[in-house]
Amino acid sequence: MSRGVFGATVGLDRVLKLFEKYNIKATFFTPCHTLESFPEQLAKVRDAGHEIGMHGYTHEFVSDVSEEQERDILAKCIDVMTKFTGKKPRGWTAPAWTPSAKTVEILEEAGILYDHSHMHHDCQPYWLPHKNSVTEINLKMKAEHWMKPMTALQPSKIIEIPANWHLDDWPPLNVGQIVGQGFVDPDVVLKLWKRQFDFYYREYDSFIFPISCHPQVTGKAQVILMQEELIEYINSHEGVEWVTFEEMARQFRDGELPGVTVNGGVDL
């Protein structure tokens, strides 16, 4: 629990100070339990002009809850955030990026503009497909049972601002992770992120670079110094613009940001 308190207080203050220094408006996907437990801290985020997006109530994995529970969680989060910010939240990201089979449908029904939980692309927005059908392997049955292609992807009304584990501070830099145990050299992460940015900048006329930073991780001294170096590196390139996820989604919806079409599967 103490690490969570650090993130919501010390870490958050450091991140806000960094963003203010470079005039960056960001999106803070926040569990409503955090918002209601640290209202003064989240007021700093709101009052600085940042977007606050939904991230579950207690960071519960919606892939593990019932459909009714998932709907109740989303309704609660919409209510809490609307009262806190003065407007309905426009975006949502699944805790641990693990949506359920019903998530897209539930977000559509709630009138949510965009999601940030899927990985059909890594640097382009797109219309998020509905959950399609894939026959799972069942070794108790004949092989012909599962040897079928997946059904065709059908776009929903939800815009996807793609998630990307390779642009997330959590796996390499959080203590307790199997991958890095929190002791990966931040310079290694910086190199990986620069390499990705360089490729996108070279290969695409327009792209998005959705870095995921957790205040309890990025708020650590060695990581926030790395983040500052990354910001200065990105800012050294012509045409860069720092915007919220809501603004990215709006630009895609309005045709200002081309994005891509996600295809795959077949009609059986």
Domains and CATH numbers, the chain: 1-254 (3.20.20.370)
The Cα 62–Cα 94 span in angstroms is: 7
By C-alpha distance, which of 110, 55, 117 is closest to 88? 110
pLDDT in the model for residue 182: 67
pLDDT of residue 177 exceeding 80: no
Per DSSP (E only), the strands in 21-92 are 27-30, 51-54, 91-92
Distance CA 60, CA 212 (A): 18
Average pLDDT over the chain reads: 94
Query: How do strand 114-115 and strand 27-30 relate by DSSP bridges?
Result: unpaired
Whole-model pTM over 0.85: yes
Q: Which tokens is 11 given? A: 């870490």
pLDDT on residue 133: 82
pLDDT of residue 178: 63
What pLDDT does 113 receive?
98
Q: For the packed helices 39-47 and 12-21, what is the interaxial angle rounded to 10 degrees?
A: 10
Angle between helices 39-47 and 67-85 (to 10 degrees): 60
pLDDT of residue 183: 79
Q: Which two tokens mark 159?
A: 């815009």
Using CA atoms, how far apart are residues 94 and 97, in angstroms rounded to an integer? 5
Spatial distance between the Cα atoms of 174 and 153, rounded to a whole number of angstroms: 35
Query: CA neighbours within 13 Å on the CB side: how many for 197?
Result: 20
- For 80-120, how does the pLDDT look when each residue is reduced to its tens digit (9 = 90+)? 999 999 999 999 999 999 999 999 999 999 999 999 999 99
C-alpha to C-alpha distance for 41 and 30, rounded to whole angstroms: 12
Record the tokens describing residue 81, joined without a space: 């955030």
Strands 155-160, 126-129: pairing is antiparallel
